[in-house]
Copies of this chain bind each other. A is one copy, B any other.
């Protein structure tokens, strides 16, 4: 589960990456991106099911997902697992540990995944010359806090059906930003993982999917979802959370 394949070939650069308008370089000038590129000197392939890092690992880098998807999760003393997020291409993993140098969560690949590595000491080296990077890191960290707070809100005040609707709406929105369909996509995570994320059992998730389907809100077959009534789902979720 620790198998990571490091690719030091730097044939791919941020400046030519399709995701550069979504990933860490978002909003940076061409010059800044060129400077930032020096920071990203390697990529790592993480096969499906493998961990990129575990809680307590020294946080030497933050990772931008290039292809694939990951989950982050917490584990308590009694072994209970709480999934805290699902990460898509262009999104950054490892931000929660970055500030103090120790990873707070586990990061595990949901499918064969490739991440770009931005080492902390490299970041520190160029950050003085690239103010946009400083700004970017602040923004992303803030977003990370916001994301966590939204999850607290969902777990604290929403009923199960609302949580699942919020989850679907959120996935839809993020996938559409990536250029994928906002109404038809494949879930890369299991019912159990969705349940863990939403504080529900896998059975409840499964039942809710079936019920949504019966109510013509969605069509679902295994991990293929089709959102038939996005407005209704939004309404259910409470219009935030998405």
Residues of A within 8 A of B (CB): 74, 76-78, 80-82, 84, 96, 99-100, 104-105, 138-139, 141-142, 144-146, 148-149, 151-153, 155-157, 196, 198-199, 238-241
Contact = CB atoms under 8 A, between A and B. Distances in A.
A138 B104 contact: no
A196 B144 CA distance: 22
Contact of A96 (B138, B145, B157): B145
A120 to B, nearest CB: 12
Nearest to A59: B142
Contacts of A196: 156
Given A74-B152, A76-B153, A84-B149, 12 more contacts: A76-B238, A76-B240, A80-B153, A82-B157, A96-B142, A96-B145, A96-B149, A100-B139, A104-B142, A152-B152, A156-B196, A156-B198
Contacts of A149: 74, 84, 96, 104-105, 148
A142 B100 contact: yes
A149 to B, nearest CB: 6
A144 B141 CA distance: 11
B238 A78 contact: yes
A216 B139 CA distance: 48
18 contacts: A76-B238, A76-B240, A76-B241, A77-B240, A82-B153, A84-B152, A100-B138, A100-B139, A105-B149, A141-B141, A144-B145, A145-B148, A148-B148, A148-B149, A151-B152, A155-B155, A155-B199, A156-B198
